[in-house]
Amino acid sequence: MIEVQNLTKSYGPLRAVNGISFTLEKGEVLGFLGPNGAGKSTTMNMLTGLLLPTEGMIKIVGIDMSEDPKKAKKHLGYLPEIPPLYPDMTVEEFLEFACELKEVKKGKKEEIQRILGLLNIKNVKGRLIKNLSKGYKQRIGIAQALVGNPDVLILDEPTVGLDPKQIREIRDVIKELSQNHTIILSSHILPEVSAVCDRIIIMNKGEIAATDTAENLTKSFETSSTLQVQIEGPIDDVLYTVSSVSGVTSVAPKEQIKENVYEYLIKGAVDLDIRRPLFFTLADSKMPILRMEQKRLSLEDVFLQITTIEETTPEEMHENLVPEEELSHENMDDL
Amino acid sequence: MKIWTICKRELKGYFYSTQAYILIGFFLLLSGFFFVNFLVRAQIPTIQYIMGDWALIFLFITPILTMKLFTEDRKHGMEKMVFSSPVSVTDVVLGKYLAALLVYGAALLVTCSYTIIVSLMGNPDLGPIASSYLGLFLLGSAFISVGVFASSLTENQIIAAVISFSLLLFFWLADLLQGIFKGFSQDIVSLLSVFERYMPFQSGIIALSGIIYYISFTAIFLLLTIRLIKSRWLQ
């Protein structure tokens, strides 16, 4: 459905996007993650034909974007970061305009009704867009991307500015859409990405820092398994007993819960389950476990690890400090 | 071809807000004042002599008429939606230009009532009036193309208006400089003088050179706009 090869965008000596490649099959949902200035929006602008890449190739449904942009754009629906709206039009008029732009010729009325129903905005169809709340505006932004039922949807932060109930609704809409559409979405809200996306690309400094499913990403970054355990007993004895359990690499008290009860962080080797030996050893020593919880890395931890490890290399930081700033200016000028 | 789609949307923008009504109203107020003033003083039942003055009114109105054509789109993020659709930049620029031209045409159409009034009063020579209308329409088209260009330069409506006003003022002043220069420099100044080409139309001559001049003038500014937008997006 989408094929991207060696995509590069340079602004003078600065490479905003540096040779990224990926492919997406029909019905896949891809999440773009990355800190501000990582090149997400630049990549999305190139995918939608707004920016011409310096190098590389983009194919949408097999059509080369540089060869036949008009035809390729017919298969695209795009929601930019700021939802595009004409405030002086009613919702219905605006969608009609979108239909004409996207060359929906037959059944314009039905198409508008379908989209209004899908996003649950039938009740505001006759109202002026400028009088609507932020949540509705965002949904109308998504609505215009859906006009003409395009094969590929590119959504730049689709749930920004919505309340939790609406976020869930939009998430459900995206899941429903993923049955017939290929979707690329970018987001800062990490649980959202892990909930909706089949695959995640973490971008940093114009390059793909990591790409995999949310599950695999978190797994590959787990270098040890951590348990959070509440144990009753004198602290020194507990520390001594726990560290004698085979597989435990470190143990440290975290906080006191009540008298003689502490919470400990116990780390073990990654491929070893230390819960059973821990339980029996402590039971034998008459030190009851009151609570035990396995801590997992969240996608957030992975994201921070990937993006901060690279940022803190001192020479790199020095090298990249100035271009980073220039990049953000360039982007602002573009908008 | 999506020219009409874009044009329709811009016309809605003009007429859903008070902008078009205020601008047309302002134009009619001043042109009506010139009309009455001329009739009372000269006592001649014709209007072609005052139509040249309308061009001056339009010099002040064009910047306001065109200032939001592209700036508004950028402010509301519409540029991204429009240019990620299967629409060519040319269609967008022509659509917006056409919308402004139609509003201008609507204002001119209302002034036809002046012709009807003078026809009732006496027996005006309709030929020069008709050619003056043609000249004014072409002149307006040239003005609007300058305004369209200015509005694509910036995100700020006021700055767009100031730029187009300055450019139009420059073309008007070039007209006044005509007598000063000689030879080659005079040719250059005459090339820039948008108002001078209108004169034959006022005397009832449909000058082909004038028509070609105004059409090329419009085309140059619209092409510049297309180039500018393409360079901003498809760079």
Q: pLDDT digits over B56-102, tens only? A: 899 999 999 999 999 988 888 898 899 889 888 999 999 999 999 99
How many domains, in total, are found in chain B? 1
- A105 interface with B at CB cutoff 8 Å: no
B82 touches chain A (CB under 8 A): yes
- Which of the residues A14, A17, A97, A335 would you substitute to probe the B interface, choosing the one with the greatest number of B C-beta atoms within 10 Å? A97
How confident is the model over A77-98, as a mean pLDDT?
91
The answer to whether the Cβ–Cβ distance between A144 and B78 falls below 8 Å is no
CB half-sphere exposure, A196, CA atoms < 13 A: 32
What is the Cα–Cα distance from A255 to A268, expressed in whole angstroms? 20
- Residue A157 burial (CB count, 10 A): 21
Share of chain A above pLDDT 90, in %: 15
Task: Tell me the pairing of strands A224-232 and A182-186.
Answer: unpaired
Average pLDDT, chain A: 82
Name the amino acid, one letter, at A69.
Answer: P
Between B128 and B234, the more confident residue is B128
**Of residues B5, B88, B235, nearest to A52 (C-beta):** B235
Q: What gap in Å lies between CA A255 and CA A163, rounded to an integer?
A: 35
In the prediction, which pLDDT does A326 show? 40
Tally of CB atoms within 10 A around A3? 15
Please choose, from the candidates A310, A288, A292, A307, the residue with its C-alpha nearest in 3D space to the C-alpha of residue A225. A292
> Angle at CA A50, nearest 5°, toward A47 and A51?
80
- Tell me: pLDDT of B40 over 60: yes
pLDDT (0 to 100) of residue A334: 40
Residue A126 forms contact with B (CB below 8 Å): no
Q: Both ends of chain B: CA-CA distance in Å? A: 23
Tell me how crowded residue A309 is: count the other CB atoms within 10 A of its CB.
11
Average pLDDT over residues A285-295: 86
Which H helix or E strand runs over B185?
Answer: helix B184-192
Q: What is the pLDDT of residue A324?
A: 39
pLDDT at B196: 84
Residues in A closer than 8 angstroms to B81, CB to CB, are 78, 80, 84, 98, 101, 144
Find residue A182's DSSP bridge partners.
A152
- Of how many residues is chain B composed? 235
A161-187 average pLDDT score: 84
Residue type, A199: R
Residues contacting A205, CB < 8 A, separation 6+? A18, A38, A39, A310, A320, A324
CB A278 within 8 A of CB A241: no
What mean pLDDT comes out for the span A210-238? Answer: 80
Range of the domain at B78: 3-233
Percent of chain A with pLDDT over 70: 89
| pLDDT at site B235 | 56
pLDDT at B162 over 70: yes
Q: What is the dihedral of CA B170, B176, B179, B185, to 10 degrees?
A: 10
A69/A220: higher pLDDT: A69
Residue pair A303/A310 in contact (Cβ under 8 Å)? The answer is no
C-alpha B103/C-alpha B99 separation (Å) is: 6
* Residue A94 contacts B where some CB pair is shorter than 8 Å: no
The DSSP 8-state label assigned to residue A50 in this structure reads S
3-state secondary structure of B105: helix
Angstrom CA distances, A104 to A74, A267, A306, stand at 10, 59, 43
B231 Cα to chain A: minimum distance (Å): 10
pLDDT tens across B137-161, in order?
999 999 999 999 999 999 899 999 9
Q: How far apart are CA B154 and CA B73, in angstroms?
A: 11
Token pair, residue A154, equals 């590119």
> From the list A50, A85, A101, which residue is nearest B233 (CB)?
A50
Q: How far does B4 lie from chain A, in Å, by closest CA?
A: 10
Give dist(CA B97, CA B100) in Å, integer.
5
Q: Are the beta carbons of A80 and B81 separated by less than 8 Å?
A: yes
Residues 21-50 on A with a CB inside 8 Å of B are: 45, 48-50
Residue A199 β-bridge partners:
A30
pLDDT tens-digit series, residues A11-60: 888 888 888 999 988 888 999 888 877 888 889 989 998 888 888 999 99
Task: Report which residue type is found at B55.
Answer: A
Q: Where are the domains of chain A?
A: 2-219, 223-295
Scanning the structure block, which residue is given the tokens 């299967």?
B86
Listed in sequence order, the residues at least 6 apart from A109 whose beta carbon sits closer than 8 Å to its beta carbon are none
How far apart CA A210 and CA A213 sit, in angstroms, is 10
Which among A57, A53, A2 is positioned nearest to A206, based on CA atoms? A53
What CATH number is given for A2-219 in this structure? 3.40.50.300
- Residues of chain B with pLDDT > 70, as a percent, come to 99
Tokens found for residue B49: 């002599």
Read off φ and ψ for residue A267, nearest 5 degrees. Answer: -105, 140
CA distance A64 to A49: 10
**CB-CB: which of A71, A80, A93 is closest to B80?**
A80
d(CA A88, CA A69) in angstroms, rounded, equals 30
Poorest-pLDDT segment among A91-105, A273-287, B174-188: B174-188
Beta bridge partners of A9: A17
Which of B71, B75, B80 best tests the A interface by mutation, with the highest count of A CBs <10 A? B80
**Residue B53's pLDDT band (boundaries 50, 70, 90)?**
confident
Q: What is the pLDDT of residue B97?
A: 96
- CATH label, A223-295, candidates 3.30.70.1340, 1.10.3470.10, 3.40.1550.20, 3.40.50.300: 3.30.70.1340
In this predicted structure, the answer to whether residue A335 has a pLDDT above a threshold of 70 is no
Whether A316 has a pLDDT exceeding 50, the answer reads no
User: What pLDDT is recorded for position A97?
Assistant: 93
